[in-house]
């Protein structure tokens, strides 16, 4: 995975938070009423987090149908990561991880040839309970896994955010930190989404027990306590490539 500068990561968090913040409040009901069955979009290198957004280019016919159906309904799509070794079953239904994140389409551009550019805003984690093979794309029975942050959890989350920010500065001295106005969970989930991590690391972060645990794991990655993330000279483009649009059956 390409490295990214701290400045680029912070800029992306600011942009993506601004994109999703207007819809976040109105989507709280969707978090609590995630349908029992949702379309899932399996990718090999993209993990969606609550409180973050991801741009996707949709070009495979089955996933064009998925987006069209979602737009006619509640606009919810579940992002899920393919397990290693999926290549051997790419044209079939390769295995996926059990935990994903449901998102709502907050921006859509339908292109003349039927492709879509969409932006998904992460709503809530889910566990896959089973699959429905009635459509060309994958449908899954799911159980919502809300990350409820109680008032008593806030001090620890804020402490973990500060530890994470110190870790960022230790690997990128002089970098600009996220705005203090951004909620702690948005900063943690935003960094989890944009810092240069392997897909397996992102999946581990998603499966963490809430943003405080996620911040702790991410801090360990940055400080060498886990498989370390690498921050490097500036990239010419943000770390979102056309691979975001490539799904599997």
> Nearest-CA neighbor of 124 among 30, 20, 15?
30
Report the number of distinct structural domains present in the chain: 2
Rounded-to-10 torsion of CA 56, 57, 61, 66: 30
The pLDDT of residue 83 is 93
Same domain for 132 and 160, yes or no, is: no
Phi-psi region of 166 (alpha: psi -120 to 50; beta: other; left: phi over 0): alpha
What pLDDT, on the 0 to 100 scale, is given for residue 116? 98
Last residue of a domain, one of 147, 165, 183: 147
62 and 155 housed in the same domain = no
**pLDDT band per the 50, 70, 90 thresholds, residue 20:** very low
CATH number at residue 138: 2.30.130.40
| Confidence label for 85 from pLDDT (cuts 50, 70 and 90) | confident
Residue 187 lies in a domain: yes
- Report pTM: 0.82
**210 shares its domain with 139:** no
Q: Are residues 73 and 111 located together in one domain of the fold?
A: yes
Host domain of residue 167: 6-16+150-223
Reported confidence tier of residue 190, pLDDT bands at 50, 70, 90:
very high
Best-predicted range by mean pLDDT among 7-16, 183-192, 216-225? Answer: 183-192
Domain assignment present for 143 = yes
Residue 234 falls within a domain, yes or no? no
pLDDT band at residue 242, thresholds of 50, 70 and 90?
Answer: very low
Whether residue 229 lies inside any domain: the answer is no
Instruction: Identify whether residues 112 and 192 lie together within a single domain.
Output: no
186 and 140 within one domain: no
115, 69: one domain? yes
Q: Of 93, 125, 147, which residue is a domain's last?
A: 147
43 and 141 inside one domain: yes
Determine the pLDDT at residue 226.
56
> Phi-psi region for residue 202, left (φ > 0), alpha (ψ -120 to 50) or beta?
alpha
Do 166 and 137 lie in one domain? The reply is no
In a domain, 240, yes or no: no
Pair 141, 164 in one domain: no
Q: Is the domain of 168 the same as that of 118?
A: no
How much is the mean pLDDT over the chain?
83
- How many CB atoms lie under 10 A from the CB of residue 15? 14
pLDDT score of 176: 85
The pLDDT confidence band at residue 11, using thresholds 50, 70 and 90, is low
Same domain, 161 and 214: yes
List of E strands, 13-158: 37-43, 53-58, 76-81, 99-110, 116-132, 138-145
Range name among 73-77, 117-121, 217-221, 240-244 with the lowest pLDDT average = 240-244
Mean pLDDT value across residues 222-246 = 47
* Whole-number pLDDT of residue 224: 86
């Amino acid at each position: 995975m390409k490295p990214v500068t701290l400045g680029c990561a912070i800029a992306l968090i600011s942009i993506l938070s601004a994109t999703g913040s207007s819809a976040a409040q109105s989507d709280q009901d969707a978090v609590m009423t995630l349908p029992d069955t949702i379309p899932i979009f399996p990718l090999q290198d993209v993990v969606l987090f609550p409180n973050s957004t991801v741009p996707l280019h949709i070009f495979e016919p089955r996933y064009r149908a998925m987006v069209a159906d979602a737009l006619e309904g509640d606009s919810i799509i579940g992002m899920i990561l393919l397990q290693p070794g999926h290549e051997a079953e790419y044209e079939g239904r390769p295995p996926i991880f059990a935990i994903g994140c449901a998102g709502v389409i907050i921006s859509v551009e339908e292109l003349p040839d039927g492709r879509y550019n969409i932006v998904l805003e992460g709503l809530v984690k889910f566990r896959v309970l089973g699959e429905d093979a009635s459509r060309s794309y994958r449908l899954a029975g799911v159980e919502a896994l809300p990350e409820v942050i109680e008032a008593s959890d806030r001090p620890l989350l804020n402490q973990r955010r500060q530890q994470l920010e110190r870790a960022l500065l230790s690997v990128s001295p002089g970098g600009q930190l996220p705005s203090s106005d951004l909620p702690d969970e948005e900063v943690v989930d935003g960094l989890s989404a944009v810092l240069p991590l392997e897909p397996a690391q992102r999946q581990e972060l998603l499966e963490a027990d809430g943003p405080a645990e996620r911040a702790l794991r991410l801090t360990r990655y940055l400080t060498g306590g886990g498989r370390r993330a690498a921050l490097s000279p500036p990239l010419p483009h943000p770390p979102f490539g056309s691979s975001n649009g490539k799904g599997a059956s």
